[in-house]
Amino acid sequence: MKQRSNDWIVGAVIIATMVLIVAATLFLQEADLGEKRTGITARFRDVGNMQVGNAVVIRGVRAGRVKAISLAPQGWVVAEMDLDEGIVLPSDPVVLIQASTLFGEWQALITAREAAPTIRDVVTQLSDVTGAPPGALAGAVLPDIAQLTTYAGGIAGNVASVAERVRTAFNDSAALELRASIRNFSVLSNDLARAVRVQSRNLDSIAVHIRAGAADLAITTEALRRTAGRADTATSNGEITRIVAETERASSNLRQATERLNALSEALMTTEQSLKSVITKADGVLGKVDRGEGSLGLLVNDPSLYRNSDSLLIDLRVLIQDFKKDPKRYFALRVF
C-alpha cells in the first residue's frame, strides 16, 4: 500500500512539474495554442538585427510577431510574419524594420507607403522591385541608433580635428597678432576713410578747377582763334619777321647774361670753399681753446692762471708806481 502511495505521489509530482515547466515556457515564449493568425510576407534587401520572435507593430500597437526569416533568390530576404486575428492592414502597406529600444530590440512596423519616411535610402529600398518575390510586401530597414552614432562619431571626429587645427594655428601669439592686426586694420580703415574724405574734397576742388580750367581753355581758345585771325593779318604786313629778329636778339642777350651768371656762380663757389676752410681752421682753434690746449686755452680755461696774471699785473703796477716815486731805492749809482 505504501509502495503504491509512493508511486502515485512521485508520478504526480513529476507530471505536475513537467506541466508546470512546459506551461511556463510557452507563457514566456508567448506561444499561441490554437489561436488563428494571419500570415503575411515581406521582402527586404537586408533585415538588420531583426530576429524571429520580434514584434510586428501597426500604428504603435503590437499586432503580431516575426515567424521566420529566410534568404530568397536575387539577393532578397523574405520575412514571414504572423498577425493577430482581425488585424486590418493599412492601404498600400509597406514594412519598415527599425530598432525599438536602445538595447538591441528590433521590430517590424507595418505602415502605409505614403506614411513611410522620405529618406532617400528608404525610398530606394521600397521602390526596388527587381526580381522581387511575388506577393510579398515591400520592406526597408531604417537606420538604427548604431548607424546614427557612427555617423555622428565621424562628424564629431572631423569637428575635433578642425578644432585641433584651429587651436594649433591660433595659439596665444597668433591671437595677439590677430588682435594687433585687427587694431591696425581699424587704424588703417580710419586713415583710409580720412584720406578718402580729404581726397574727395580735393577731387571736388580739382573738379572745380578743371571746370574753371575748361572755361579758361574755352576763353583761351577763343583768344587763340582771335590771335590767329590777327596773325593772318599781321603776316601780310611783315610784323612777324620783325618780331622774330627781335626775339633772336633778346635770346642772345639772355644767353650772355646766363654765361655771366655762371661765372659769378663759380666764383661764388670758390669763395664759399675758402670760407669753409677758414671756418674749419677757426673751428679747430676754438676747439683747442675750448679743450684748454695752448696758452690761450690755458688762460681761458684755467682760472688760477688768470688770477695769478691779474695779481702779477697789480703787483707790477704797484712796483712801477713805487719806482716812479722813489727811483733811488732801486738804483744805487755810485761812482766811487
Partner 1 sequence: MVETIGRVARGSLESFGAAGNLTAEAVRSLRDVSTWWPNFSQQARKLGVDSLPIGILIALFTGVVLALLASYSFTNAVPRYLVGTLVQKTVMMELAPVLTGLALAGRVGANIAAELGTMRVTEQVDALETLAYNPIAYLVTPRILAGIIMFPVVVGVAMFVGLGAGWAASLLLLDLSTPEFLKGARWFFDTFDVRYGLVKSASFGFAVTVLGCVNGLRARGGAQGVGAAATSAVVQSAVMILVLDAFWAMVWLLGRAK
Please report, as ranges, the residues that interact with partner 1 according to CB under 8 A: 3, 6-7, 9-10, 13-14, 17-18, 20-21, 24-25, 28-30, 101, 103, 105
Nearest approach, Cβ of residue 104 and partner 1 (Å): 10
Q: How far is the CB of 16 from partner 1 (least distance, A)?
A: 8
The Cα 301–Cα 294 span in angstroms is 10
Return d(Cα 149, Cα 98) in angstroms, integer: 15
In the bound state with partner 1, the residue whose beta carbon lies nearer, of 20 and 278, is 20
Q: Cell for 26?
A: 510557452
- Residue whose C-alpha cell is 532578397: 76
C-beta closer to partner 1: residue 85 or 105: 105
Residue 56 CB, nearest distance to partner 1 (Å)?
15
CB 30, min distance to partner 1, A: 6
Burial 115-130 (b: 16+ CB within 10 A, else e): ebeeeeebeebbebee
Residues 335, 46: Cα–Cα separation, whole Å: 163
Rounded to the nearest 10 degrees, the angle between the axes of helix 172-235 and helix 239-291 is 140
Q: Rounded to whole angstroms, how far apart are CA atoms 64 and 60?
A: 12
Instruction: Rank residues 136 and 144 by Cβ distance to partner 1 and give the closer one.
Output: 144
Of 17 and 258, CB closest to partner 1 = 17
Output 14 or 263, the one with its CB closest to partner 1. 14
- H-helix segments, the chain: 2-29, 120-127, 145-169, 172-235, 239-291, 294-301, 303-325
Least distance (Å) from partner 1 to the CB of residue 14? 6
Give the residue with the Cβ less far from partner 1, 27 or 331.
Answer: 27
Nearer to partner 1, 25 or 171 (CB): 25
Residue 213 CA to residue 207 CA, distance in Å, equals 9
What phi and psi values does residue 42 have, to the nearest 5 degrees?
-140, 150
Beta bridge partners of 62: 57
| Strand-pair partners of 96 | 109, 140
The distance of closest approach from Cβ of residue 106 to partner 1 in the complex, given in angstroms and rounded to an integer, is 12
Min separation Cβ 58 and partner 1, Å: 18
